């Protein structure tokens, strides 16, 4: 594996060796993975944690009193405690879900009839579509996809919503949202706040107390953990607490012939056998990232994206869609003036071994509203290098001249 020359992460080469997939050879080319906003690569520590559950203590949880079940239950509840620490939350505030989409559906199922819900247009489909069944008010996007803060303040003050629901970083165009400003406006209007931290968790410190949110959610698979495990945070002591989407075994306290009682949050959200190994893998990812330091991960990714953004902007055949203070630290979206996004992505993969995402990135409304064509999205994580950014720019330059 090539040694990276420039890095903001001490021991980047050592960390890259933690990701076995980076050894993969793609028809003689070294893999360059720039699709972490879709899903991240997994370090050996996470793979080992999941494998350890299968090889040493496979068992169901919260049921049996045998040794393996007790071990698995302890590991699962320890995982909750680790995730809670990672978010600066309490264990009673952290429920495991399948992914961010499920968590967002739980909140919308519980709250969409309590009053208007305001959200930016740039949201992922999973934070737009579930709200459409209720009274949703969408904040218009400016030409670069960003929220107009003054207009948003006015809308929130006039609408007096029950909830403002927004992502910290929008995956569609790669925008950092003005979360502090919109949260303050929500509080002034007496609204609750839901933060979708799917694109910031694992890339920067996420502290639910500092963020002043009532609900938060994310998917583990974007922050080095397995697929099929996500988190729904609910601040303790909320007047209107969430209702489970699924009911049945494991989430009940007592079941009698005629009636039943539910367990409290978070356990009432975990009906049926949960993704035990996923939760254990997610905790391993939290520990792994904590040991490196999320501020280190953030400045590394910021360095890479600002570098590649500047280089792509210098290419006459390329439009970079977001730059300046709105631009995300972890992804860059761009279009070639001559080759459609899927064509660029296919050629980057086939000819250069570079994996990027192309299309609307599950955020079609913001593209339509801003008149931006389907784009190419290059997204980075801890394991990417400055040399990979150079390779991307070189490859995009070649591909853009091919039409």
Ligand X SMILES: Cc1ncc(COP(=O)(O)O)c(C=O)c1O
Tell whether residue 362 is a contact of ligand X (CB under 6 A).
Answer: yes
Nearest to 83 by CA among 202, 1, 184: 202
The CA distances from residue 109 to 101, 185, 288, in Å, are: 12, 24, 34
* Cα pseudo-dihedral 356, 362, 366, 369, rounded to 10: 100
Residue number with CB closer to ligand X (196 or 388): 196
Residue 315 binds ligand X, judged by CB under 6 A: no
From 140-148, 182-190, 191-199, 372-380, span contacting ligand X (CB under 6 A):
191-199
Q: Which of 73, 136, 198, 336 is close enough to bind ligand X by CB under 6 A? A: 198
Given the rule CB under 6 A, which of 46-54, 79-87, 123-131, 135-143 is the region that contacts ligand X? 123-131
Smallest gap from Cβ 390 to ligand X, in A, equals 26
Supply the minimum distance, in Å, between the C-beta of residue 199 and ligand X: 5
Q: Is 99 in the site for ligand X (CB under 6 A)?
A: yes
Question: Residue 212: left (phi > 0), alpha (psi -120 to 50), or beta?
Answer: left
- The yes-or-no answer on residue 301 being catalytic is no
- What are the residues facing 261 on neighbouring strands? 254
Measure Cα distances from 9 to 6, 125, 153, 176, 386 in Å: 9, 33, 38, 22, 11
Stretch that binds ligand X, among 23-31, 150-158, 195-203, 273-281 (CB under 6 A): 195-203
Give the per-residue contact string, 323-342, with ligand X (x = CB under 6 A; - = no): --------------------
Residues 78/129, Cβ–Cβ less than 8 Å: no
Q: Return the number of the residue (194 or 344) whose C-beta is nearest ligand X.
A: 194
Q: How far is the CB of 185 from ligand X (least distance, A)?
A: 20
DSSP tag of 65: -
Of 116 and 172, nearer to ligand X (C-beta) is 172
- Residue (73 or 219) nearer to ligand X, CB: 219
Task: Describe the strand order of the beta sheet including 375-379 as a list of residue ranges.
Answer: 318-320, 331-336, 375-379, 357-359
Please say whether the beta carbons of 169 and 176 come within 8 A. yes
Rule CB under 6 A: which of 163-182 touch ligand X? Answer: 167, 171
Binds ligand X by CB under 6 A, chosen from 126, 298, 384, 385: 126
Site string for ligand X, 27-66 (x = CB under 6 A): ----------------------------------------
In angstroms, give the least distance from the CB of 89 to ligand X. 19
Q: Does 219 bind ligand X (CB under 6 A)?
A: yes
Catalytic residue selected from 201, 217, 268, 362: 362
Cβ contacts of 341 within 8 Å, gap of 6 or more: 335, 358, 359, 373, 374, 375, 376
82 versus 101: smaller Cβ distance to ligand X: 101
Site for ligand X contains 101 (CB under 6 A): yes
User: Is 381 near ligand X (CB under 6 A)?
Assistant: no
Nearer to ligand X, 39 or 60 (CB): 39
H-state helical runs in 293-385: 294-313, 341-352, 364-370
Element (DSSP H or E) covering residue 132: none
* Interaction between residue 277 and ligand X (CB under 6 A): no
Stretch that binds ligand X, among 13-21, 25-33, 121-129, 140-148 (CB under 6 A): 121-129
As given in the structure block, the two tokens for residue 274 are 């949960």
Instruction: Give the residues across from 233 on adjacent strands.
Output: 94, 216
Q: Shortest Cβ distance from residue 69 to ligand X (Å)?
A: 29
Rule CB under 6 A: is residue 100 a binding residue for ligand X? yes
The CA–CA distances, whole Å, from 152 to 63, 182, 263, 314 equal 48, 7, 38, 33
275 contacts ligand X (rule: CB under 6 A):
no
Q: How far is the CB of 286 from ligand X (least distance, A)?
A: 17
**Triad 289, 292, 298: Cα angle to 5°:** 80
Measured in Å, how far apart are the chain's first and last C-alpha atoms?
A: 33
Structure tokens, 6: 């420039």
Site of interaction with ligand X (CB under 6 A): 99-101, 124, 126-127, 167, 171, 196, 198-199, 219, 362
Catalytic residues: 362
């Amino acid at each position: 594996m090539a040694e990276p020359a420039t890095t903001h992460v001490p021991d980047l080469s050592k960390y890259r060796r933690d990701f076995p997939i980076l050894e993969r050879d793609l028809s003689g080319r070294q893999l360059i993975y720039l699709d972490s906003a879709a899903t991240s690569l997994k370090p050996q520590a996470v793979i080992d944690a999941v494998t350890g559950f299968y090889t040493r203590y496979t068992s169901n949880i919260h049921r049996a009193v045998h040794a393996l079940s007790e071990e698995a239950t302890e590991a699962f509840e320890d995982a909750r405690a680790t995730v809670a620490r990672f978010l600066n939350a309490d264990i009673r505030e952290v429920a495991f879900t399948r992914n961010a989409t499920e968590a967002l559906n739980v909140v919308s199922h519980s709250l969409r009839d309590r009053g208007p819900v305001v959200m930016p247009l740039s949201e992922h489909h999973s934070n737009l579509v579930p709200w459409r069944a209720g009274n949703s008010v969408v904040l218009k996007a400016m030409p670069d996809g960003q929220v107009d803060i003054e207009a948003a303040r006015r809308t929130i003050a006039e609408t007096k919503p029950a909830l403002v629901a927004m992502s910290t970083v929008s995956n569609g165009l790669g925008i950092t949202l003005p979360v502090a400003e919109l949260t303050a406006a929500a509080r002034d209007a007496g609204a609750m706040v839901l933060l979708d931290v799917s694109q910031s968790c694992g890339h920067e410190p996420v502290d639910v107390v500092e963020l002043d949110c009532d609900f938060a959610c994310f998917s583990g698979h974007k922050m080095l953990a397995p697929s099929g495990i996500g988190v729904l945070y609910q601040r303790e002591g909320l007047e209107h607490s969430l209702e489970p989407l699924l009911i049945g075994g494991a989430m009940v306290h007592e079941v009698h012939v005629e009636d039943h009682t539910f367990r409290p949050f978070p356990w009432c959200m975990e009906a049926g056998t949960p993704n035990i190994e996923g939760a254990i893998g997610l905790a391993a990812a939290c520990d792994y990232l904590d040991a490196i330091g999320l501020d280190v991960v953030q400045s590394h990714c910021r360095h890479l994206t600002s570098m590649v953004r500047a280089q792509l902007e210098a290419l006459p055949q390329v439009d970079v869609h977001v730059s300046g203070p709105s631009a995300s630290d972890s992804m860059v979206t761009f279009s070639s003036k001559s080759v459609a996004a899927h064509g660029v992505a296919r050629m980057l993969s086939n000819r250069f071994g570079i994996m990027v995402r192309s299309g609307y990135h599950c955020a079609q409304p913001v593209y339509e509203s801003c008149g931006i064509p389907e784009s190419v999205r290059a997204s980075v994580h801890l394991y990417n290098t400055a040399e990979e950014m150079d390779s991307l720019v070189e490859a995009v330059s070649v591909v853009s001249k091919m039409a």
